[in-house]
């Protein structure tokens, strides 16, 4: 259930873009207009094509941004970590959401009516600049993935996808760096434009070689340097799987 959030302390947001450049009284004014909500894993916060009536800040958890192709296939476009805005359709000049947002882990969000977007951008300079920097970074990430899809072999694409997730969400564990939310082989196939069978073959080979460990929707990178080499296509020919695209 949604509930108003006037009781949240503004210190929760002072270190988060796009609030890091705002005064505490400005953050207080923004918080007083927010609605908070807890979400279970796998919940659709909004769907592609729906009217963009709210925008969101992810306080905790992870969001998987999904697009549906004209043929009905699902493609994972982005993963959003805590501390970032999402659902900001108006920043893209849209009145409908361009993608579906699904919780990849249990999540806590704040949200505001979309009618507040223009006042926030005009009244809070830091809010505007940090927000558009975030939009630019996401567009850059998506462009990078488009280039990878067009120019890289499947092994490189899957390795790069894992390295991005480690950089964005990784946490250190005893034997490496674990991606800090549930992720399946199907998720990886949707992120990299390949098949579940191919991803399964790659991960099984990498587990045998000591690059990764996967179990119960969790993936840990145990040899980051070797995975970087795979992402660059630098592995020895007799030490890699070469499945079809």
Q: Identify the residue whose tokens are 């993963």.
A: 79
The candidate with the shortest Cα–Cα distance to 55, out of 101, 123, 5, is: 101
What are the domain boundaries of the chain?
A: 3-149, 153-239
The candidate with the shortest Cα–Cα distance to 184, out of 87, 42, 61, 71, is: 42
* In the predicted structure, residue 202 carries a pLDDT above the cut 60: yes
Structure tokens at 163: 């390295």
The candidate with the shortest Cα–Cα distance to 155, out of 215, 209, 81, is: 209
* In the predicted structure, residue 219 carries a pLDDT above the cut 80: yes
Distance, in Å, from the CA atom of 210 to the CA atom of 203, rounded to the nearest integer, reads 10
Q: What is the second-level CATH architecture of the domain 153-239?
A: Orthogonal Bundle (1.10)
Q: Identify the residue whose tokens are 């119960």.
A: 216
* In the predicted structure, residue 96 carries a pLDDT above the cut 70: yes
Q: Residue 241: which pLDDT band, with cuts at 50, 70 and 90? A: very low
Domain 3-149 has CATH 2.60.40.10: no
- Give the model's pLDDT for residue 86: 93
Better-scored residue on pLDDT, 125 or 136: 136
Q: How does pLDDT run across 133-180, given as a tens digit for each residue? A: 888 888 888 788 778 877 889 999 999 999 989 988 889 999 899 998
Range 196-209 average pLDDT: 94
Q: What percent of the chain has a predicted confidence (pLDDT) above 70?
A: 93
Our measurement of the distance from residue 118's CA atom to the centroid of its chain's CA atoms, rounded to an integer in Å, reads 25
């Amino acid at each position: 259930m949604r509930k108003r959030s006037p009781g949240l302390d503004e210190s929760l947001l002072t270190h988060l873009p796009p609030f890091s450049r705002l005064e505490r009284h400005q953050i207080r004014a923004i918080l007083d207009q927010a609605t908070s909500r807890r979400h279970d894993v796998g919940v659709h916060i909004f769907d592609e094509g729906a009217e963009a009536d709210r925008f969101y800040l992810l306080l905790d958890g992870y969001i998987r941004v999904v697009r549906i192709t004209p043929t009905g296939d699902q493609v994972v476009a982005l993963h959003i970590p805590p501390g970032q805005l999402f659902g900001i359709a108006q920043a893209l000049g849209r009145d409908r959401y361009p993608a579906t947002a699904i919780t990849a882990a249990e999540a806590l969000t704040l949200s505001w009516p979309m009618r507040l977007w223009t006042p926030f951008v005009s009244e809070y300079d830091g809010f505007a600049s940090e927000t558009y920097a975030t939009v630019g970074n996401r567009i850059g990430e998506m462009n990078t993935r488009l280039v990878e899809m067009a120019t890289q072999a499947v092994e490189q694409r899957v390795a790069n996808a894992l390295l991005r997730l480690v950089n964005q969400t990784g946490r250190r564990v005893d034997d490496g760096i674990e991606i800090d939310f549930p992720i399946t082989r199907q998720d990886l196939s949707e992120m990299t434009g390949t098949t579940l069978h191919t991803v399964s073959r790659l991960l099984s080979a990498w587990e045998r070689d000591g690059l990764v460990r996967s179990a119960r929707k969790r993936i840990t990178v145990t040899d980051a340097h070797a995975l970087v080499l795979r992402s660059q296509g630098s592995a020895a020919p007799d030490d890699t799987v070469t499945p079809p695209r």
